[in-house]
Structure 1
Amino acid sequence: MTPIRRLLLVPLVAALAAFGAVAVTSSPAAAATNSFRGVNWAVLGDNFSTGPLVISGLSSSDSYATVQAKANALYDDMAAIGVNTVRLPINTHTVGTAWWSAYRGAIDAATARGFKVILAYWEDGAASGGRITNTAAWNTMWSNVTYLYGANTNVYFEPMNEPHGYTSAEWRNVAAAWMSYHYSAVPARTLIGGTGYSQDLRDVCNDSRFNGTLLSFHHYAFFYTAMTYDAWRTHVQTRLGNCASRAVVTEFGAPMSTGLNYADANSTDNFVRHIRAVTQVMRDNQMGGTYWPAIGGKPTGTSGFDYYSMFALSGSGTNLNLTVRNTSGKDRLRHGWGL
């Protein structure tokens, strides 16, 4: 989930000039994306970091085998509600490090059980203003990732999460250049984020350089003023443009620890209306989605957890457990997936 951040724009003029508008060979787009039934597994404190990304439940001292065992324990509980996809964060301070050797256990445990994994780059620290801070390091990171997982058909690549520091034209050039440079990341397993906070797909949808890709879409109530249920549905559908068939709602969420009833079609609560609308648009368009977050995220107040989190984490060592915080929220998520 996007934290409130200062927009400190870091110049990348030289890099963008080098990128230019590159033609990309595309492959046929998917007819629907509802095979992505997922959640985000995030760092407690959020994924915007200038250090290695140690996602919630893991420890920086964990070995590959320990990470794999912890991940499998959590994936068992996620699968119990229908999850078959996990979106995991990466950054330039994680990939290629000693921690990366262990962190890969979370990726490998997921793919071994047939889960899809979306690897998404989070900018290296919240103060970088929605831009790539070091293009060379970013490309090196992705070369490492695509070399390891380019042939794994369960692994998907998202070049950047919420590229809001770029204009639409800049971002589309950056993304097109990424695809040309990282040719082992086939378009059909690449998710290009929408403009802004990945919240508008229309320009990306209409750019023929991305015809063969999937698209990453974010939608939160806090992005906008309160609306009726019908207005939320129209709002979401409008920002998908003509590309709902290729879109995955890689982030959406609402409070799960406050007792809201997401089964109430007559609710006047804005969060309830919003989640009901997003999940209905997903179901109507046979779209997949990865809820934000399963665990981790930005702690709310002094609670020690993100109140959007779908699960409460308990246990110790490799004996970890997840408990659903809100049954009606879980049921609405499954509704969105088409279950």
Structure 2
Amino acid sequence: MPIHSSRRALRRLVATAVATGTTALLCAVPAAAAHPADPAPAAAPAHAQAPDTSRFKGVNWADPRDNYADDPVVLSGLSLSDGYATTYTKAHRIIAAFRANLGADTVRLPINPYTVNGPYWHAYRAVIDAATAQGFQVIVSYWEGTGARKDGLIDDTAAFWRMWTTVTRTYTGNHRVYFEPMNEPHGYTPGQWADIAAQWLHTFPAVPRDRIFVSGSGYNDSVVSVCADPRLKGTYLSLHHYGFWGTHTYDEWTADLKQRLGDCAGRTVADEFGSSMTTGLDYDQPADGNNEVAFLQADTDVFRALHMGAVYWPGLRTGDTYSLESLTGSPDAPWLTTNNPSGADRLAWAWGRGKPATESAR
């Protein structure tokens, strides 16, 4: 999730210019990834259709830098200097707060090669372990770096495959961990991105297909093309949707979302969507022309009606006005407080609980 409209709008303008000439590099999978040194378990059967996605009731937990980093990602409330035990203690409390405050059962976490291929991986694993120990489902997603590399392309293909070899070896045996090969692959054409996703499936056949999230094309903004590709059958699809992409009424936002889903809602989890949570907006009241309120009410109504999984951006990210939660307590014993109860209401509504916004909001 970029810092919001200005940055994402700029990258949309350049996406087409950088979308060519890349698949040959990506097909050069290093031997360590294609043929792991450790014996791989037998490939799990691919399901014809991923199960009902509504069981993913989650939030994103993010680095204050928006997860784009040329060094390890360090989630809000954690520290690069902390070892496994301290990271586990902090993560355990924050995950528990997501459940206590919001009723979440899923968390989406970023990774990059700096995190996994270096010394911080030992400590970062504590976040995943603390979440799964509490029964949470964890979606692990690759994010690209910053600067000139922030182009919607895999930064370093050798490091990318090495990273995923390590992550899949570590967590394929944990049924609560899910793998999203890349976040927002907007530097590729839809066809190029489908080729890369298919390459990922071929490289890691031991990962069950119903534990894989294939991002939609572009900024994860449409799942239509990946849904139609038979090579990706049986996987989940991930969609991103944001109100700063335009200015619309409730009905127009509903139509916009459904167009991006096509007939693939049954496989799709919205693993990023959000609105301002620190500016005092009331999402339980009529929109009265407010684009953010209309957007969030439309999205949460559609997710509920279509029984879709919904993972809010972000549950926690320091400095992000969209953050639904903020850190409280001491740094060594963190807890969370909810920034906008009406936003939490809308998220609960998307998850099949709670109450709708007032009738006059429609």
**TM-score per shorter chain, which class?**
over 0.9
Q: 1:335 aligns with which of 349, 352, 357?
A: 349
| 1:126 to partner: Cα distance | 4.8
| Residue of structure 2 in register with 1:306 after alignment | 320
Post-superposition CA distance 1:119-138 (Å, at most 9, x none): 00001225320000111110
Aligned residues of 2:23 and 2:192 also touching (Cα < 8 A): no
Provide structure 2 residue ranges, at least 5 long, that are not aligned to the other structure: 30-43, 354-362
Structure 2 Cα separation of the partners of residues 213 and 134 of structure 1: 25
| 1:265 to partner: Cα distance | 3.6
Residue type of the alignment partner of 1:162: E
**Matched positions, count:** 327
Question: If the length of structure 1 is used for normalisation, what is the TM-score?
Answer: 0.92
| Residue of structure 2 in register with 1:254 after alignment | 275
| Residue of structure 1 in register with 2:164 after alignment | 142
| Residue of structure 1 in register with 2:187 after alignment | 165
- Asked whether 1:321 is paired with 2:329, we answer no
| 1:94 to partner: Cα distance | 0.6
Aligned residues of 1:92 and 1:124 also touching (Cα < 8 A): no
Aligned residues of 1:226 and 1:270 also touching (Cα < 8 A): yes
Q: 1:288 aligns with which of 309, 321, 324?
A: 309
Aligned residues of 2:240 and 2:273 also touching (Cα < 8 A): yes
Structure 2 Cα separation of the partners of residues 40 and 149 of structure 1: 19
- Asked whether 1:65 is paired with 2:75, we answer no
Structure 2 Cα separation of the partners of residues 171 and 50 of structure 1: 23
Aligned residues of 1:49 and 1:126 also touching (Cα < 8 A): no
| 1:216 to partner: Cα distance | 0.6
Structure 1 Cα separation of the partners of residues 159 and 198 of structure 2: 18
| Residue of structure 2 in register with 1:211 after alignment | 233
Question: If the length of structure 2 is used for normalisation, what is the TM-score?
Answer: 0.87
Aligned residues of 1:26 and 1:210 also touching (Cα < 8 A): no
| Residue of structure 2 in register with 1:111 after alignment | 132
Structure 2 Cα separation of the partners of residues 202 and 287 of structure 1: 16
Structure 2 Cα separation of the partners of residues 324 and 51 of structure 1: 30
Post-superposition CA distance 1:60-106 (Å, at most 9, x none): 11111111110111112110121110000000111032111001111
- Asked whether 1:180 is paired with 2:190, we answer no
| 1:180 to partner: Cα distance | 0.3
Root-mean-square deviation (Å) = 1.7
Structure 1 Cα separation of the partners of residues 194 and 108 of structure 2: 22
Q: 1:228 aligns with which of 237, 249, 255?
A: 249
Give the SS at the match of 2:114: coil
Residue type of the alignment partner of 1:71: A
| Residue of structure 1 in register with 2:24 after alignment | 14
Residue type of the alignment partner of 1:267: D
Q: 1:90 aligns with which of 111, 132, 136?
A: 111
Q: 1:27 aligns with which of 44, 47, 59?
A: 47
| Residue of structure 2 in register with 1:121 after alignment | 142
**Of Structure 1 and Structure 2, which has the larger fraction of its residues in helix?**
2
| 1:242 to partner: Cα distance | 1.2
Post-superposition CA distance 1:179-201 (Å, at most 9, x none): 10012222100000001000001
Provide structure 1 residue ranges, at least 5 long, that are not aligned to the other structure: 298-304
Structure 1 Cα separation of the partners of residues 164 and 288 of structure 2: 44
Post-superposition CA distance 1:298-338 (Å, at most 9, x none): xxxxxxx1100001112223310110000000000010011
Post-superposition CA distance 1:152-196 (Å, at most 9, x none): 110000000000000010000011001100122221000000010
Structure 1 residues 271 and 133: alpha-carbon distance in aligned structure 2, compared to 1, 3 A threshold = same
Q: Which consecutive segments of 4 or more residues in structure 1 shift more than 6 A?
A: none
